[in-house]
Amino acid sequence: MGEEYGERRWLELSERERTLFLEKTGPGFREEALKVSLGELWAEFSEADSRFAELAPHMSGARVLRQDPLECLFQFLCSSNNNIPRITQMVSYLSSLGPYLASVGGFKFHAFPSLERLSQVSEEELRKAGFGYRAKYIVDAVAVLQSKPGGGAEWLLSLRTLELQEVTDALLGLPGVGPKVAACVALFSLDQHHAIPVDTHVWQIAKRYISPELEGATLTPKLSRHVAEAFVMKFGKYAGWAQTVLFIGELSSQKALLPVHLHCDKATEASSKKLVTSKNKRKSRA
């Protein structure tokens, strides 16, 4: 049985003959989400894009989570101009403020803290914990969310019923939230499957595989919107899922797990070809 802490969504599964069966669901669970065939989507994406087709066999475990919006928002507030190890450290600190759940393998697990608990954390405390300028964004975002009618957590959940542009506009009204963070929160927690977070990695992916005519251009807000539209044009209403796989394929930690020909960029490929050509010439002379 998988169950989230407190009053959050839960479901009960059983396994028979290596097959999972849905037995019960709690409030807020979307059973229709189980009707999306990832295999069919991957086939459609592969047909639409040769780079995705190359990566797909090596990315079978890639998934887009439907996170709790409150948790997702503060995770991505931590990600602004940051690296993965430091983001992990900051998110772990915030999580440690929540209710203790269990210890597994020597690691303590906590539910993500409520807005009320986060409101008790000062900017100074967060700065001492290494949050830097993001400390003020987090404290201010908590205050703004607490002022929302019905409470910030419910307000965030209500965004799931809106269109992407409405969701984006609402999120941009929160301290520390720019277009990229808004797109991330929309994609990973607010059911906006075609939201495309555009950062330098996605910009490079777009220039290399999606819109090569952008080569030589500089990323601007207008071109960021162009890139997002190009992804949707190519991959459809689940474009954000396809973009996630392409993004993972560019991470250095994942490239090491891919065949060499899949993690070489254009400069490396050109260098490798020159090296091979040079070696062949030396062999022919010998």
Q: What distance in Å separates the CA atoms of residue 221 and residue 241, rounded to the nearest whole number?
A: 22
Q: Is 180 a catalytic residue?
A: yes
Q: Which of 24, 108, 136, 180 is catalytic?
A: 180
Q: What distance in Å separates the CA atoms of residue 222 and residue 151, rounded to the nearest whole number?
A: 34
Taking residue 52's Cβ as centre, other Cβ atoms within 10 Å add up to 22
- Nearest Cα neighbor of 143 from 160, 121, 126, 128 is 121
Q: What distance in Å separates the CA atoms of residue 238 and residue 192, rounded to the nearest whole number?
A: 8
Taking residue 227's Cβ as centre, other Cβ atoms within 10 Å add up to 22
Cα 159–Cα 40–Cα 246 angle in degrees, nearest 5: 65
Report which residue type is found at 69.
P
Q: What distance in Å separates the CA atoms of residue 56 and residue 46, rounded to the nearest whole number?
A: 7
Active site residues: 180
